[in-house]
Amino acid sequence: MKETITRSLTGILFLVVIILSLILHPYLYLAIFSLICVAGWFEFIGLFHSAGRYRLKIPGAILLIVTFIIIFFVLNGYLPSYFLLIPAISLIVMTIGDISEQTCTGSKGIPVYTAGFIYLGAGFSCLHCLAFQKGALEGYSPIWILYTFYLIWTYDTMAYVFGRLTGRHPLWARISPKKTWEGSIGGAVLAIILAIVLSRFNEELTIYEWIGLAILVVVFGTLGDLFESWLKRRGGIKDSGRLLPGHGGVLDRFDSLMLATPIVTLYLILLL
């Protein structure tokens, strides 16, 4: 009972902080998500601590946050596009770091710096693409980020509820034994219903395109969840961190987002 209360209170506070950061001001959004991005980086690197000491852990965090901020200002038109060379150079630095420290061999085939930089950089930076479709700070709109979050949160929450109530068949027992087909199907149905409801308030997409959006969120959100579960299982770790009591760490809360956001971004670019 105590765990449920802790989980609920943390979840509510988490949602309030995320939503307020998005709707109050673009710079508040940038600040909060920069911190989230860096926290996710340290958690990601922490999954591989047994493989050795990482000299690029802190420099990598700096390069990641600089990349996140630069993409924000390029997309809103405050910086010229050639500043994107900095993220490209950062990625090269990460790759060189993996080679020099042999993290790929030490981490069972995973290039830690490069994988973490792409995983977190692409996952979070695509939020900027959703926010700045008009390409100016005055045109900042968090609406598509919020829609994506609403669909992900609905799917994750209802998958958890249906899984606890009716779950019998594991989705992928070897990687995540607590995730079930019953939970995933129940969460998917509720996400699709929410998409249909949202289509009544936003007609930029047809009802079928909204349903397609929900399906993409469910499929790639699930893959993102399973990928993070695989990372934790191979590292023998239950949670990626302890930042959010009852929920784990940043990666535990944003794992679905990491793979879903780039796909949602491409989908909306094609349709809008």
pLDDT of residue 108: 62
Six token digits for residue 236: 């023998």
Confirm if 156 and 183 have CB atoms less than 8 A apart: no
Residue 197 to residue 158: CA distance in whole angstroms: 16
- Confidence band of 236 (pLDDT split at 50, 70, 90): confident
Judged by DSSP in three states, 214 sits in: helix
Residue 50 reports pLDDT greater than 60: no
Tens of pLDDT, residues 136-150: 677 899 999 999 999
| DSSP H or E stretch at residue 41 | helix 26-46
Residue 15 to residue 157: CA distance in whole angstroms: 12
Segment among 50-54, 121-125, 155-159 with least mean pLDDT: 50-54
Residue 1 reports pLDDT greater than 60: no
DSSP string, 134-180: TSSGGG---HHHHHHHHHHHHHHHHHHHHHHHH--SEEETTTEEEEE
Tens of pLDDT, residues 66-92: 999 999 999 998 999 999 999 999 999
Handedness of CA 123, 128, 130, 133 (dihedral sign): negative
Q: What's the domain count of the chain?
A: 1
Domain that holds residue 213: 2-271
Q: Quote the longest CA-to-CA distance of the chain.
A: 54
Q: What is the pTM of this model?
A: 0.91
CB neighbour class for 262 (10 Å; exposed up to 12, middle 13-18, buried from 19) = middle
Residue 128 to residue 260: CA distance in whole angstroms: 14
CA separation (Å) from 154 to 65, 195, 218, 254?
Answer: 29, 10, 10, 13
